[in-house]
């Protein structure tokens, strides 16, 4: 990979073994920031994601259970969640790969549909400065329960990342992208070096048929 390209990484199930959002929400429930009844819907999100039927970007009010929570409290909770749970979820093989890229002078970017403030502590831990993520909307320092713009999911993630690559003066054909999910297929098809990391069964089938590198390191 050329030094003037970008090395992009998905987060959930690629860098981390589990969902950063799920870890965060369980901690928010335990801390009383979110009602306990919302614990019942978390498994549905996981199942919908794995089955390919999640349509998060179509929901204007995607996070109603966070409405009214102060940004400072959410950022503090994200830092705590990383220390207590997410840090132990980080895949050592992928972490070494990211650190090797950084040491070689490459520009590493986290590109995820997860929430920006949730993945910020992970990015800081890895030494990654660039994060492309879904953003929560805030008013007067408190969450509105809505997404600012659109969730970086499927085609929206592809469009946003490609715009970032162009703004950075890079060429997608000289970039790599690492992901576990069939949801990221549109973006994987745009870069010069698509890499499947612990891929789901649909992405694995495509990666094998096209001769893409596969990293299995659960």
| Residues carrying an active site annotation | 10, 12
Backbone angles phi, psi at 6, to 5 degrees: -115, 145
Q: Which two tokens stand for residue 6?
A: 């970008």
Give the span between the Cα atoms of 147 and 100, in whole angstroms.
34
Q: Are 173 and 188 in contact (CB under 8 A)?
A: no
CA–CA gap between residue 164 and residue 96 (Å, rounded): 24
Torsion of CA 43, 49, 51, 56, to 10 degrees: 110
Q: Is 34 helix (H, G, I), strand (E, B) or coil?
A: coil
**Structural tokens at position 83:** 């220390």
């Amino acid at each position: 990979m050329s030094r003037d390209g970008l090395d992009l990484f998905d987060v959930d199930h690629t860098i981390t073994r589990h969902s950063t959002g799920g870890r965060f929400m369980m901690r928010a429930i335990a801390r009383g920031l979110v009602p306990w009844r919302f614990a019942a819907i978390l498994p549905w999100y996981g199942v919908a994601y794995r089955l390919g039927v999640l349509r998060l970007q179509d929901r204007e009010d995607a996070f109603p259970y966070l409405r009214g929570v102060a940004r400072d409290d959410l950022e503090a909770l994200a830092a705590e969640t990383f220390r207590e749970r997410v840090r132990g979820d980080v895949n050592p093989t992928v972490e070494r790969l990211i650190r090797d890229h950084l040491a070689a002078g490459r520009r590493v970017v986290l590109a995820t549909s997860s929430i920006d403030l949730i993945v910020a502590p992970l990015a800081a831990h890895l030494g990654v400065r660039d994060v492309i993520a879904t953003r929560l909307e805030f008013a007067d320092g408190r969450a509105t329960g809505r997404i600012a713009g659109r969730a970086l999911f499927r085609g929206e993630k592809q469009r946003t990342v490609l715009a970032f690559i162009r703004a950075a003066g890079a060429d997608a054909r000289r970039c790599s992208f690492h992901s576990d999910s069939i949801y990221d297929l549109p973006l994987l098809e745009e870069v010069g070096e698509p890499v499947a990391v612990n891929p789901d069964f649909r992405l694995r089938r495509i990666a094998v048929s096209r001769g893409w590198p596969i990293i299995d390191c659960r």
